A and B are shown apart, each in its own frame.
Chain A
Amino acid sequence: SYVLTQPPSVSVAPGKTARITCGGNNIGSKSVHWYQLRPGQAPVLVVYDDRDRPSGIPERFSGSSSGNTATLTISRVEAGDEADYYCQVWDTSDHWVFGGGTKLTVL
């Protein structure tokens, strides 16, 4: 089965740029999606199809994907961005696969 690998944690100071990676075999050939999960709240889609943003998601959130790595970039990080972030792809085994999640800490 397809495996997605994320760093357990990323820390960034307010106003700086956070980059969260998602590694997978030839992930650049797949569509990668990203979700934000805060405790006690419903997950929120923040980037879909590698780089597109749903309506209501700030432009500070962007995505890219190439080769074996996809990246979620959060510019001008705010305290409210502190959350867990998950990447996700659809696998040809007809399963939906999530990465292990990355905890973003705003220092």
Chain B
Amino acid sequence: EVQLVESGGGLVHPGGSLRLSCAASGFTFSDYWMHWVRQAPGKGLVWVSRMNIDAFTTTYADSVKGRFTISRDNTKNTLYLQMDSLRAEDTAIYYCAREERDSDYFDYWGQGTLVTVSS
């Protein structure tokens, strides 16, 4: 059974940093592109970042470029999101999602982890 479990969320002050993790199981992690998607309170889903299987190629939404860094450790089956220079508008539930191979959609998602940026 495919499972994605996020962790690392919490309360952080503006300008602070947080590192999210997404532990994957039930599939060959290194074979799939992985993504982070977020949902601010009362708002819709917004794509944040993507990492290819090579663990080098990345893409970011303009709103987080230069502040967030996506990475993965294929030996630990884990996806990460390092979030720096956090702002109030980064407050959201952060989901990790698996992209189906040779496609552009997300076939499995985690339950999400809540990040709150507030003073």
| Chain A interfacial positions (CB closer than 8 Å to B) | 31, 33, 35, 37, 40-45, 48-49, 54, 84, 86, 88-90, 94-101
Q: B95: which of A43, A48, A90 is its contact (CB, 8 Å)?
A: A43
Number of interface residues of B (CB under 8 A): 23
Residues of B within 8 A of A44 (CB): 109
* Separation of A84 and B97 alpha carbons in the complex (Å): 18
Q: Decide if B104 is an interface residue (CB 8 Å cutoff).
A: yes
- Docked Cα-Cα span, A101 to B109, in Å, equals 17
Closest CB of chain A to B102's CB: distance in Å?
Answer: 11
Using a CB–CB distance below 8 Å, which chain B residues touch chain A? 4, 35, 37, 39, 44-47, 50, 59, 61, 95, 97, 100, 103-107, 109-112
Q: Are A90 and B104 in contact (CB under 8 A)?
A: yes
B46 touches A98 (CB 8 A): yes
Residues of B within 8 A of A86 (CB): 44-45
Quick one: which of A35, A43, A84, A98 has the most chain B CB within 10 A? Answer: A43
CA distance A86 to B45 in the complex (A): 8
Residues of A within 8 A of B39 (CB): 37
The docked-state distance in angstroms from the alpha carbon of A94 to that of B106 is: 15
Extra contacts besides A88-B106, A99-B44 (8): CB < 8 Å: A42-B110, A43-B97, A43-B109, A44-B109, A48-B105, A88-B45, A96-B35, A98-B46
Residues of B within 8 A of A43 (CB): 37, 45, 95, 97, 106, 109
The smallest beta-carbon distance between A47 and chain B, in angstroms, is 9
Contact A37 B45, beta carbon cutoff 8 Å: yes
With contact pairs A33-B105, A43-B106, A90-B104 given, residues A95 and B59 touching in the complex (Cβ less than 8 Å): yes
